[in-house]
Chain A
Amino acid sequence: MNEWLHALRLRLRALGRRGQLDRDLEDELAFHMEMRRAAGEPKAPFGNATATREKLRDTWALAWEDAWRELTQSVRILRRSPGHTAAVIVLLALGIGGNAAMFSVYNALFVRELPVPEPARLAVLNPYWSLPGLESFRRAQTSFSGIFGTGSLTSTSYSTASGEQLSRVSGGIVTGNYFQVLGVTAQLGRLLTPEDDQAGDPRTVAVISDGFWTRQFHRDSSILGTRIYLSGTPFTIVGVAQQSYRDDLPGRARDLWVPMNTQPLANPSGDVRYQQGWRWLSVMGRLKSGVSIEQAMAEARVINAQMESETNTSRRRFTVGPFETGRSGFPGYRRSLSTQLQILAITVGIMLLLVCLNAATLLLVRGTARGREIAVRQALGCGRARLVCQLFLEGLLLTAAGAAIGLFFAPHVARALLSLQPTSDIVNPELIFDMPMIAFGLGISLVTAAACTLIPALRVSRVQIEPALRSASRGTTGSAATRRTIRALVALQTALSVVLVAMSFLFAQSLYRLRSVDGGFERIRGITATLDARVAGYNDPAAQYRLAQRLIDRLSVLPGVESASLALCSVLMGCSRMAPIEMEGAAASPGDPSIWLNSVTPAYFQTTGIHIEIGRAFDPADRAGAPRVAVVTESLARSYFPEGDAIGRRFTPLSARGVPNEPIEIIGIIRDVRFVSPRDKPIRMAFLSYDQFPGEYSYLQVRTKSAAAPLVNSVRQAIFEVEPRLYMRGPNTLPDTLAMNLSRETLLARASLLFGGIALFLACFGIYGVVSYLVAAGRSEIGIRLAIGAQPGTVMRQVIRDALLTVSPGIVLGLGAAWAGGQFIESLLFGVTRQDLLTNFAVALVLLGTTIIAAWLPARRASRIDPLEALRCE
């Protein structure tokens, strides 16, 4: 080892002074010649000195100078067959690009740290907190140097001083110490401080992000002091956060942050800061140095236990969930998207394997075609190791080119993949090239190069020198062993394609079944929108009721509309009011006493198409002052009255928002409705009449006479005419809304169909290449068969049958692998299982069909071989 190092040092030194080394060698040999002449010895034969000098120069050469020579040679060889080279590069770009795209998303969500000092000291305090809980914990603890809470501003409208409505603004509401705890700095003006966030007298100030500053203000540095209206309240912009800081949640880009205590002003759905049981804050803390997350959690448990015993004010309570590191921000999408990301990562991984096999087959086929060249080199004394090296180098060159293209397109591919979600603004990670990304690119390129060159290199370098040299043509058809290897590679490709196609079939079917599941309501001819009247200043129930009447009167007469209704909770959207009840005449409530309490205008059941099974719907007689009545779901009725005598019974809601604690009579029972997602279990819900319980409402439903989509705009226009200040999200057609609810399934189905398609294409490509090769290899044999009277049709059938025989083990293997691997996706499937025979049969059929298509052209070529010409070649 020492000797080796010594030599390396000397060689490196010589490398630095190449000219000097040449001069030294020259002088040394010249002196020798002079001495020989002086001694009267005979002159050395011509050329000897040159050969010696070359030899000496080689002695001093470094290995990589050799490598460089090899490299230029490889480039020459690759440039000799541009079509083939381009095909392999495109394949590799596809495989590497897909993987890099997935990794860039993974990197942005899981790996990259927040751009703040010492991110490792940040800890996420799971689960969610109430503001009072957070405040009491903050005062009691000693583990953290600072703790902040943050939430999202939902149902807030944004407008500029000139009245321009801003859409798609993402607002954060944060405790005053937010930026200080994180260590974020301002690039303009100042950030929020605890003084801005006094409980009694908060300042209406806002800090905006670099992105919003650029998008909305074109980086104008005179915007400090500008006002922006949140739900009608003016907030003064006091600063712009540092450029690199997007948000505390990777995958989201915030536009602005306002102090926590401005919540009732910025968000008109009422003051939720001190509402009982309202846990809505994500909380993060900065650990004091030397304190571990476990220690902090242990302390939090102790504090929690003390508070439980000291006080019975439930609002101060909090739950100590597992704390976790906050170095990459809140988990958010890391949790919600991890299944999809894993499946997509596995998919692109299989894709890359497929691409490698494909490229390997291509290289192998071409390597055999180059058999003569390789045999010549071996005959000239080129060692096997060196040959393998050379082929690996070629592979590396191809991979490098493919990787360069793939990495360049990776962020675009990632964005395209994410946009397969029906709601495009769900996750928007920052996709940039950083160290992990570069390391990934290098690593995957090396692995890919090795994966696609090793088999061909080992195979090809075993070329038999003599027969290869003897054969007349420049190319050879390779040994039987090589042909076996090629067949095996194609079978493997088929197997991988089967896995991807099977996966896409399962996801697509499951999405289809989810879409067609009967939710118990009409979901084609409908439009829904989210509304909030409080934004427009309708705060008391009477005013809200009058606005509701005006909205329904206006919408009901809209051409093409059959009926319209308003509700607190709506199908596909969700519900926000839950309360415990006491049921008269029933034993103490079974299990959880809480039920969902909806308020709906009378036309609700007609509009949503929910069928009343027993009893009646609301009628005009059920107005204010009349006996209070309710329609309930079958689940609710049955949970209290299994014998089915629920009609006429009365229940009393306890402390429900906007509902007095007085008895309500059950007048009707509806079939169970899958309220939000088709996967939902039936829920226990009571529908109250809005005429009897006026107050807030959140959703509008419209039933149209025919297709809903063309009416969306006129519905929006009509709402706008009634009250332009109303907060509104949507309106959307029910099918669109359903698609958003199925966004995970849709993403998976679309992405896997895309990858399944690519896999089929790759398989097709591979099979085509190999059948072409085998036909070329069997050319003379086919020629002889045609010469002695075989029908072209028979030859064609035989070639195709041969192709089918080659791929069928692959299909069987692939189905087996898909069946075994299917358990990982089983939980995501709906209404279809991995054992589904029809699906598996369809997959096999698709692959067999693909094989026939791929083999068709070469088979036809085989059937048209001219026997004379084929035999002359021999």
Chain B
Amino acid sequence: MPKPPMPAPRSGDLIPGSLEVLILKAISRNGRMHGYAIADWIHTVSEEALRVEEGALYPALHRLELRGLLEQEWGLSDTNRRVKFYRLTPAGRKALTAEREHWSRLTTGVMRILESQ
């Protein structure tokens, strides 16, 4: 199916393409996480600058899983619900390193331009 046109990012929205690296980072930092915890962590650590909606979060998680960067694990919550946890695979760890370099180059470049005299 064709991709819907991407609206321009506004406050609270993510830079397109950044969600996956944020997910990988969140999980590598905290080990085993479920979806809500990932969204929450990103929200908190970004000092509430970034908000991830589930409509974007879960497809991204599942894509990462299909690409073999994450693996799933099922557990039970305190309220006795089935919870899906995600863990990084070795391939995921490698991908995170590569992505971090990519993003730091990109952001440095963007900032240099924005702050140039």
Contact = CB atoms under 8 A, between A and B. Distances in A.
Note whether A and B form a binding pair.
Answer: yes
A24 B62 CA distance: 12
A59 B36 contact: no
Contacts of B40: 35, 39
Contacts of A31: 34-36, 77, 81-84
Contact of B2 (A10, A55, A60, A383): A383
Given A28-B84, A32-B35, A36-B36, A48 B62 contact: no
8 contacts: A3-B68, A7-B68, A27-B83, A28-B83, A31-B83, A36-B36, A55-B55, A56-B62
Nearest to B1: A58
Nearest to A23: B82
A29 interface: yes
Given A31-B81, A32-B36, A35-B36, A56 B59 contact: yes
A131 B81 CA distance: 92
B111 interface: no
A643 interface: no
Contact of B84 (A24, A51, A381): A24
Interface in A435-486: none
Contacts of A39: 40
In the A-B complex, the 6 residue pairs with the smallest Cβ-Cβ separation, listed nearest first, are A381-B2, A35-B36, A7-B66, A6-B68, A27-B82, A28-B84
- Interface bracket on A: 20 to 34
Contacts of B94: none
A52 B67 contact: no
Contacts of B63: 59
Interface in A5-51: 6-7, 10-11, 24, 27-32, 34-36, 39, 44, 48-49, 51
Contact residues of A: prevailing secondary structure? helix
Nearest to A10: B66
Contacts of B53: 44
B contact residues, range: 20 to 34
Given A34-B81, A60-B62, 17 more contacts: A6-B67, A7-B66, A7-B67, A27-B84, A30-B81, A31-B82, A31-B83, A32-B58, A34-B79, A35-B40, A52-B55, A52-B58, A55-B58, A59-B59, A59-B62, A59-B63, A382-B2
A848 to B, nearest CB: 50
A382 to B, nearest CB: 8
Interface of A: 2-3, 6-7, 10-11, 24, 27-32, 34-36, 39, 44, 48-49, 51-52, 55-56, 58-60, 381-383
Nearest to B89: A6
Contacts of A24: 84
A27 B34 CA distance: 12
B75 to A, nearest CB: 10
B55 to A, nearest CB: 5
B73 interface: no
Contacts of B99: none
A71 to B, nearest CB: 17
Contacts of A51: 55
B56 to A, nearest CB: 9
Contacts of A7: 66-68
Interface in B46-80: 53-55, 58-59, 62-63, 65-68, 77, 79
Given A27-B82, A36-B36, A11 B66 contact: yes
Nearest to A53: B58
Contacts of A2: 68
